[in-house]
């Protein structure tokens, strides 16, 4: 039965395909020219196959191994890309021009894909995550940089508008930045005055 399928060009093509599939399974890449020994091994294997079902099973196994490897590589790439994006946001939150499109371009990803990665990694959408990072930083400034006014803190946290900053801060923490700072100062004074 297989004698009909064992035409020389078909055997060569299948051996090349098998070599590429094995290379993908081993390294994640199909090299332009497979190793000669690898090719010969597959070529000889094809000639030993007795029937169509055996050929199909062998090719399915090679494809399955290659697919598993590609899934692993994709998962690794996804984790790395999400990590790079999150690190970039944490380091550059103060840039008011920080945007999904700009970051996606910087990381050579599509904006929808990057958005999905960030949502999956953080549980928040891109703008929500950026605001969380900015507002956390703003709280640190409110607590530690008493000489800065609210407008300066908003700017250092990546907001062009102190009104917008105040609105987001109040929505997140339940009080305005000024009130939060006052409460923080009073709490520190209370802790300092209480006997230990």
What number is the average pLDDT over the span 21-29?
A: 65
Place of tokens 């060569």: 12
- Model pLDDT for residues 61-85, shown as the tens digit of each residue: 877 877 887 778 777 788 899 999 9
Residue 72, pLDDT score = 80
What number is the average pLDDT over the span 156-168?
A: 96
Is the entire prediction scored with pTM above 0.85?
A: no
Q: Reduced to 3 states, what is the DSSP secondary structure of residue 8?
A: helix
Please, which residues have CB within 8 angstroms of residue 195's CB and are 6 or more apart in sequence?
none
Residue 1, pLDDT score = 43
Residue 53, pLDDT score = 84
CB-CB neighbours of 116 under 10 Å: 16
- Model pLDDT for residues 33-44, shown as the tens digit of each residue: 555 666 677 677
Residue 29, pLDDT score = 55
Of 135 and 195, the structure prediction assigns the larger pLDDT to: 135
* Cβ proximity of 67 and 20 under 8 Å: no
């Amino acid at each position: 039965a297989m004698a009909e399928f064992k035409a020389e060009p078909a055997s060569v093509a299948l051996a090349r395909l098998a070599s590429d599939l094995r290379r993908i399974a081993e390294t994640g890449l199909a090299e332009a020219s497979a190793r000669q020994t690898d090719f010969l091994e597959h070529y000889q294997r094809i000639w030993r196959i007795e029937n169509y079902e055996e050929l199909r099973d062998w090719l399915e196994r090679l494809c399955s191994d290659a697919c598993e490897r590609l899934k692993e590589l994709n998962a690794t790439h996804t984790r790395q890309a999400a990590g790079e994006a999150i690190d970039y946001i944490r380091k550059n939150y103060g840039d008011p021009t920080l945007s999904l499109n700009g970051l996606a371009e910087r990381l050579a990803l599509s904006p929808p894909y990057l958005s999905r990665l960030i949502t999956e990694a953080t549980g928040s959408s891109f703008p929500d995550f950026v605001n969380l990072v900015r507002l956390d930083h703003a709280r640190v400034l409110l607590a530690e940089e008493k000489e800065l006014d609210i407008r300066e803190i908003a700017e250092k946290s990546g907001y062009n508008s102190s009104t917008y900053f105040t609105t987001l801060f109040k929505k997140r923490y339940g009080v305005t930045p000024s009130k939060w700072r006052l409460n923080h100062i009073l709490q520190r004074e209370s802790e300092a005055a209480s006997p230990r």
